[in-house]
């Protein structure tokens, strides 16, 4: 069912594929608002080069790009007013790698401002809607990416994941979202939110497509010191191999979070599917899990407060021309250019890093983070993969949580640990809520064990059949 495999085998022309997706965008994007811009001219140019070089691993595959990945000549705004008018002069490394394999980049998809959010509601372009229920959020921050794939506007989208920003929207939209190991994919050209947590990942309709995208975008990059030299594996090759004897760890701390009965049922059913496939379920413990949210909401905002300092109106992006002095320029530009959630995180991070508080917050958080890494190392001695729900619920209603940041933050409780410890994680559809909204199952594995991770996720996907359903809007 992999789009990429089918497409490459079908011999369908890249032109035809692009045209049908552009039609889908025309038809559905007004309701979904996943795309914030369609780059038809660049896509047509890419189609021409894909036709000239049909051997590319992604020749003619339409891909949507999250608004925080730099593409030469594209406005790159991170869903923020402050970057309005910033047209990137360069390509992110992942963009170059996709283009080299003949991918057809179709345009920009929406996101929470600077990836701060779990609902895609904080974008300066307005919210993206969930294709399963347009009154609901698609999740976030890569909500545009997930909604675009779920609605069939593109078979593949790139997102970025700092605390669950690829996996949580994948769960909400009934698609697959992969966050690779920290360092597996170059971050060069990804506008930084939290440098030690950010990782670029694909959102696709199937596990195999994610594996095929990872094969292209992974690998060391001399432009990113944090990118790893661990060799890239042919991730799509072992898909379909048996998972008999695979040790699947159930972290007891994750199981203790309260879940609505329908989500719980979907999770319980997932365990049974894996057991039936021959996996061995082992209980594991991650004792520091209860601190994950606190640690994340210190480390993330600290790094973000520094990473966002460059948006000062001096060199690029939006600037207030009425400024009377330098301080006034900074104040006006940032007051008007940044949204409430961005300001909240900048203030949080600035406070936590300030003299006299650094030890109590940042340093302490980094120590707990170290302990969490130890927890995971121990757990992975007992288990090959860990599983838990991706999110504690299905998609919530637009506006439901905007006034309550804490409840919004808690929608990431299952996902942000993987970023804090750097391990790879994937969300695969595993069932539906009582209202028919998709929910995902999250797998995690040891660092750089994406092959194992994808093999397990693929086996689950094949047995569960949960990914076979499509939102009604897609079929219409």
Interface with other proteins (CB under 8 A) = 68-70, 76, 78, 83, 86, 88-90, 92, 187-192, 194-196, 222-226, 302-303, 305-306, 308-312, 314-316, 326, 330, 350, 353-355, 358, 362
In whole angstroms, how close is the CB of 349 to other proteins at the nearest point? 9
Instruction: Return the number of the residue (179 or 334) whose C-beta is nearest other proteins.
Output: 334
H helix runs in 383-428, sequence order: 405-409, 416-421
Catalytic residue, chosen from 66, 179, 446, 455, is: 66
Residue 66 to residue 142: CA distance in whole angstroms: 7
**Choice between 113 and 209, CB closer to other proteins:** 113
Q: Which two tokens stand for residue 353?
A: 């890093």
User: Closest separation between CB of residue 241 and other proteins, Å?
Assistant: 34
Quick check: is 141 catalytic?
yes
Closest Cα to residue 25, out of 42, 12, 8, 37?
37
User: Nearest distance from residue 248's CB to other proteins, in Å?
Assistant: 32
Residue in 165, 210, 417, 445 annotated catalytic: 165
Does 88 participate in catalysis according to the annotation?
Answer: no
- Residues 286, 417: contact at Cβ < 8 Å? yes
Helix (H) or strand (E) holding 45: helix 40-52
Nearer to other proteins among residue 282 and residue 373 (C-beta): 373
Nearest-approach distance from CB 347 to other proteins, in angstroms: 12
DSSP for 50-95 reads HHH-TTSTTTT-EEEEETTB--TTSB--TT-GGGTT-B-SS--HHH
Query: Nearest distance from residue 163's CB to other proteins, in Å?
Result: 15
Nearer to other proteins, 152 or 189 (CB): 189
3-state secondary structure of 365: helix
- The encoded tokens of residue 235 equal 């991730």
Q: How far apart are CA 303 and CA 321, in angstroms?
A: 29
Q: How many CA atoms lie within 13 A of 150 on its CB side?
A: 38
Are 60 and 102 spatial neighbours (Cβ–Cβ below 8 Å)? yes
Beta bridge partners of 438: 432
Of the residues 80, 119, 123, 141, which is catalytic? 141
Q: Between residues 190 and 263, which has the closer beta carbon with respect to other proteins?
A: 190
The residues carrying an active-site annotation are 66, 141, 165
């Amino acid at each position: 069912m992999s789009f990429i495999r089918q497409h490459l085998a079908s011999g369908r022309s890249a032109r035809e594929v692009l045209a049908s997706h552009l039609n889908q965008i025309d038809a559905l994007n007004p309701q979904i608002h996943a795309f914030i811009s369609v780059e038809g001219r660049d896509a047509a140019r890419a189609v021409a080069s894909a036709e000239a070089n049909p051997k590319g691993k992604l020749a003619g595959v339409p891909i949507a790009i999250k608004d925080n990945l730099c593409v030469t000549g594209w406005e790159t705004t991170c869903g923020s007013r402050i970057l309005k008018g910033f047209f990137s002069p360069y390509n992110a490394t992942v963009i170059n790698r996709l283009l080299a394999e003949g991918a057809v980049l179709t345009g920009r998809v929406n996101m929470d401002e600077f990836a701060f959010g779990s609902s895609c509601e904080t974008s300066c372009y307005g919210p993206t809607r969930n294709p399963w229920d347009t009154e609901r959020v698609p999740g976030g921050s890569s909500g545009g990416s997930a909604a675009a794939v779920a609605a069939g506007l593109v078979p593949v989208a790139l997102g970025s994941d700092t605390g669950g920003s690829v996996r949580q929207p994948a769960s909400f939209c009934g698609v697959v979202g992969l966050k690779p190991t920290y360092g597996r994919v170059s971050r060069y050209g990804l506008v930084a939110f939290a440098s030690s947590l950010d990782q670029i990942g694909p959102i696709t309709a199937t596990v195999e497509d994610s594996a095929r995208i990872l094969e292209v975008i992974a690998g060391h990059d001399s432009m990113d010191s944090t990118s790893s030299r661990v060799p890239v594996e042919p991730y799509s090759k072992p898909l379909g191999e048996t998972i008999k004897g695979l040790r699947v760890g159930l972290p007891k701390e994750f199981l203790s979070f309260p879940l609505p009965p329908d989500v719980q049922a979907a999770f319980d059913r997932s365990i049974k599917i894996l057991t039936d496939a021959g996996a061995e379920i082992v209980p594991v413990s991650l004792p520091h899990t209860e601190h994950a949210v606190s640690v994340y909401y210190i480390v993330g905002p600290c790094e973000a407060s520094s990473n966002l300092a460059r948006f000062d109106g001096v060199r690029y992006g939006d600037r207030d021309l009425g400024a009377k002095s330098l301080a006034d320029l900074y104040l006006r530009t940032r007051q008007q250019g940044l949204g409430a959630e961005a300001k909240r995180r900048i203030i949080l991070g600035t406070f936590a890093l300030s003299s006299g508080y650094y030890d109590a917050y940042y340093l302490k958080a980094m120590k707990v983070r170290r302990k969490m890494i130890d927890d995971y190392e121990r757990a992975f001695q007992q288990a090959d993969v860990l599983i838990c729900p991706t999110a504690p619920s299905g998609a919530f209603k637009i506006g439901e949580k905007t006034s309550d940041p804490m409840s919004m933050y808690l929608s990431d409780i299952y996902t942000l640990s993987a970023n804090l410890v750097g391990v790879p994680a994937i969300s695969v559809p595993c069932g539906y809520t009582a209202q028919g909204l998709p929910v995902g199952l999250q797998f995690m594995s040891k660092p750089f064990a994406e092959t194992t991770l994808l093999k397990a996720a693929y086996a689950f996907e094949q047995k569960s059949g949960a990914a076979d359903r499509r939102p009604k809007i897609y079929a219409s």
